[in-house]
Amino acid sequence: MRRLLRSPLLWTLLSSVVVLVGVTAWLLTDRATSRGDALKTGALAGGAIAALYGLWLNDRRRRTEEDRHEIERSRISDERFAKSIELLGNEADQVRVGAMHSLAGLARTRPEYRQTVLDVLCAYLRRPFDHPKFSPDEDWKDPERKAGAERERLVRRAAERLIRDILPHSGTTGPTLSLNLSDARLDKLELLGRRVGWFGADRSEVLTHLDLTDAELAGKFSLRNVTIHGRFDVTRAEFKRKVLLENLVVETPVNLDVATFAEPPSLEGAKFADS
């Protein structure tokens, strides 16, 4: 009985009857209105109440269905994320590249995953990695070892490209995404025209180049104790917070005058080739 009294349908029916009787009785007080017209108008008013209830019920069903679909999408996304993480440990390089692209696709369709996916790709680049160009003094006569190192280098290049693709463009608004690449071995990290929050790559090593052309660095930027064997390009880059470049070594000429700094960068112990 108590549940029945709480039923929206019951109260809608009662409201419709009350409105029908009330409107009809009010119209009958006017002698110019016939009984038939009064009943017709009262029925329309009561029917309007029922129609409003029908609209509310349809909207409630729609929202319930949308919530169900969203829960299902979240479940599928979680399973896709977990499977991709598992495949990142696969021995086949093509499988690892496929897993990275799957994660990047998830980041594009589910914005709440973007920072998590970036963290995973950065963690992959922090994995131990050696290559003849990083360690030329080692014995690389074994062709299988050398070929394996080159395949892994290409996988890591894919991770670097996907990091760039996930980041938002400079000049846009929205959440800022951060990169933690400390202790990583990088090849070609190109953040051209991208907006980055906090960027940390302390103690990392860059083989080919670190290109920040037209990038917007919204958070602290740190390259302490980093070695860049190739180019370090900051053309039209905008650094909005503190920049730490202590003990940075760049083996090619660097021009910091082409960038914009909110405050002078910290350059203690930094060594650049003749600029």
pLDDT tens column, 95-150:
999 999 999 999 999 999 999 999 999 999 999 988 887 787 777 788 888 888 89
How much is the mean pLDDT over the chain? Answer: 84
DSSP of the chain, one letter per residue? -HHHHT-HHHHHHHHHHHHHHHHHHHHHTSTTS-HHHHHHHHHHHHHHHHHHHHHHHHHHHHHHHHHHHHHHHHHHHHHHHHHHHHHTT-SSHHHHHHHHHHHHHHHHH-GGGHHHHHHHHHHHHTS----TTT-TTS----HHHHHHHHHHHHHHHHHHHHHHHHSPBTT--S----EE-TT-EEEEEE-TTBEES-EE-TT-EEEEEEE-TT-EE-S-EE-TT-EESSEEE-TT-EE-S-EE-TT-EEEEE--GGGSEESSPPB-TT-EEE--
For residue range 199-257, list pLDDT tens digits in order: 999 999 999 999 999 999 999 999 999 999 999 999 999 999 999 999 999 999 999 99
- Confidence at residue 20, expressed as pLDDT on a 0 to 100 scale: 44
222 and 114 together in one domain? yes
Q: Is residue 208 part of a domain?
A: yes
Residue 274 pLDDT more than 60?
A: yes
State the average pLDDT over residues 9-25.
51
- Render pLDDT for 39-52 as a digit per residue (tens, 0 to 9): 555 555 555 556 66
**186: β partners:** 206
121 and 38 housed in the same domain: no
182 has pLDDT over 70: yes
Query: Looking at the structure, do residues 53 and 95 belong to the same domain, yes or no?
Result: no
Are 123 and 18 found together in one domain? no
Q: Which pLDDT band, with edges at 50, 70 and 90, does 71 fall under?
A: low
Residues 6+ apart with CB under 8 A from 89: none
**How far apart (Å, rounded) are the C-alpha atoms in residues 162 and 165?**
5
Residue 77 lies in a domain: no
Q: Is residue 9 domain-shared with residue 140, that is, in the same domain?
A: no
Whether the pLDDT of residue 31 is over 90: the answer is no
Question: Does a structural domain hold residue 70?
Answer: no
61 and 92 share a domain? no
Q: How many independent structural domains does the chain possess?
A: 2
**φ/ψ (deg, to 5) at 188:** -130, 90
Determine the structural domain holding residue 56 and report its residue range: 2-65
Q: What is the mean pLDDT of residues 168-197?
A: 95
- Rounded to an integer, the average pLDDT of 53-61 is 66
Same domain as 153, residue 184: yes
Residue 141 lies in a domain: yes
Q: How far apart are CA 158 and CA 188, in angstroms?
A: 10
pTM to 2 decimal places: 0.76
Asked whether the predicted pLDDT for residue 35 surpasses 90, the reply is no
Does residue 83 belong to any structural domain of this protein?
A: no
> What's the whole-number mean pLDDT along residues 10-23?
51
Residue 82 within any structural domain of the chain: no
Is residue 161 scored above 90 in pLDDT? yes
Q: Which two tokens stand for residue 275?
A: 């600029």
74 in a domain, yes or no? no
Q: Which residue has the higher pLDDT, 27 or 68?
A: 68
The distance in angstroms from the start CA to the end CA of the chain is: 87
User: Tens of pLDDT along 78-88?
Assistant: 888 899 999 99
| Non-local CB neighbours of 98 within 8 Å, separated by 6+ positions | 87
pLDDT at 17 over 70: no
Co-location of 143 and 243 in the same domain: yes
Same domain, 98 and 61: no
Higher pLDDT, 80 or 4: 80
Tell whether 241 and 138 lie within a shared domain: yes
Phi, psi of 79 (to 5 degrees): -65, -40
Same domain, 215 and 92: yes
Residue 48's identity, in one-letter code, is A
Q: How far apart are CA 226 and CA 136, in angstroms?
A: 19
At residue 15 the predicted structure's pLDDT band, cuts being 50, 70 and 90, is low
d(CA 38, CA 30): 9
